[in-house]
Each structure stands twice: as C-alpha cells, then as structure tokens.
Structure 1
Amino acid sequence: MSDVQQRIDDLVKNNRVVLFMKGTAQFPMCGFSGRAVQILKACGVTDLKTVNVLEDEEIRQGVKEYANWPTIPQLYVDGEFVGGSDILMEMYQAGELQDVLRSS
C-alpha cells in the first residue's frame, strides 16, 4: 500500500464518519460536496470528519483509487465506502442512509 493509500486508510478506519470533499463543511467548494454535508446534517451526524481534497492533490487522486470511485465527494461510514452525492441523496430519501448511520 502506498503512503497516500495508507493515509486514506487510516482516516477511514480511525473516524466513524468521513467525507472526502471539495472544501470544508463550513465552506464547501462545490455543489455536490455542499449537498453531501447538508444531507449528513439532516441525518443528525455530529461526529463528521471532513477531508478537503483541494488541499492535497495526492489525497484527491488517491481516494478515487482507494474506493475505485471516480468522483468526489465520497462518504465512508465505519470503514466502508457508502457512495457519492447522488447515492447519498437516494439513500437519504429512501431512509437507508439514516439506517447506515444509526447501525453502530
């Protein structure tokens, strides 16, 4: 595992809810990242760890390889990849995201 993959793995495994996004939760730098933050807030997530991929090009590229998922944002819960913005919205509307976030 490369250094960047190890850094990503540590973030994912050492934080219950991790969102790799463009910008920060307080100041998202793209609409998809902003929507992901709003969905998580609506679910009552208080222990959200965000990683601003715009501050680290290695993380920005590495996270795409880590999950084999081409877009950002990316949400991980309990070490598992959940999805990007569209998947989060679909899961939220179906009540599935709330279940995933409650499950542990």
Structure 2
Amino acid sequence: MEFPPNQGLDQDEVDEQVDDLLADNDVVLFMKGTELMPQCGYSRKALGLISQHREEFETVDVLDSLDEYRAALNRHSGWETIPQTFVDGEFVGGSDVLEELEERGELDETLETA
C-alpha cells in the first residue's frame, strides 16, 4: 500500500489562512477533524464545551497540514498542541483550559464577543 505525501497547504498559505480566520471570526477552534467527526478526544471535548455556549463559531481541521498549522498557531499562542481556541483573535487555550473555565463558571463569559 502506498501513501501519498502530505497533500496539504504550504507554510505561507497556512500562515495567511490562520491570520485571516483570526481577523474575520469571533470564535475559532483549530482542531483535529471536523465538527461532525472530531479525530481526537481533546478536540471532541473542546468542541462540546464551546457548543454548550455558542451556536456560531468557526472550526478548522488542521490534519491535512498539521505541522504547518502548529507553526502558524505557535506564532499567535506560543503553544504547539491542538486543539486551540481563539476569541476575538486572542488565544484562550486548549480543551483543558476550556474545561477549567467551565468548572469555574467562566466559559460563557469568556466566549462572549464584543
């Protein structure tokens, strides 16, 4: 069986896409997989937590260009792990941070946008 090389975007394309997504959307979740098919438990958890408080938010499947997304997101957040949540262009955290905010009753307020 033969697997084709990474068919994803190059670094410049991913950098531009991340910059545009953060500028154009109130809440963005960069995750492994899609809303309908999350591909890791952490992404599923982050998606579920955000969905409890917001109907509209952007999700981005990073799997086709994982290394490029890690590099692009690291410029904005200082983190390399996925998932990553941004509100109004500001990094909030991964699923663990979202879970902590939920436990403290602060997630709803955190996900509110101007």
Look up the equivalent residue of 2:58 and give its one-letter code.
K
The yes-or-no answer on 1:46 pairing with 2:55 is yes
Instruction: Give the structure-2-normalised TM-score.
Output: 0.80
Instruction: Give the structure-1-normalised TM-score.
Output: 0.87
Check the 8 A contact 1:5/1:66 in 2, yes or no: no
Instruction: Report which of the two has the higher share of helix.
Output: 1
Task: Report Cα offsets for 1:1-38 as digits up to 9, x if no partner.
Answer: x7333321111110111000000111100000000001
Look up the equivalent residue of 1:72 and give its one-letter code.
I
Q: How many residues are matched?
A: 102
The yes-or-no answer on 1:78 pairing with 2:82 is no
What RMSD, in angstroms, separates the aligned Cα atoms of the two structures?
Answer: 1.6
Cα distance in structure 1, aligned partners of 2:70 and 2:92: 17
SS of the counterpart of 1:36?
A: helix
Cα distance in structure 1, aligned partners of 2:45 and 2:104: 16
Larger of the two Rg values belongs to structure: 2
Q: Percent identity?
A: 45
Stretches of structure 1 that go unaligned for 5 or more consecutive residues are: none
Q: Give the 4+ runs in structure 1 shifted more than 4 A.
A: none
Task: Report Cα offsets for 1:37-82 as digits up to 9, x if no partner.
Answer: 0101111x11111110102232243213331112100000111100
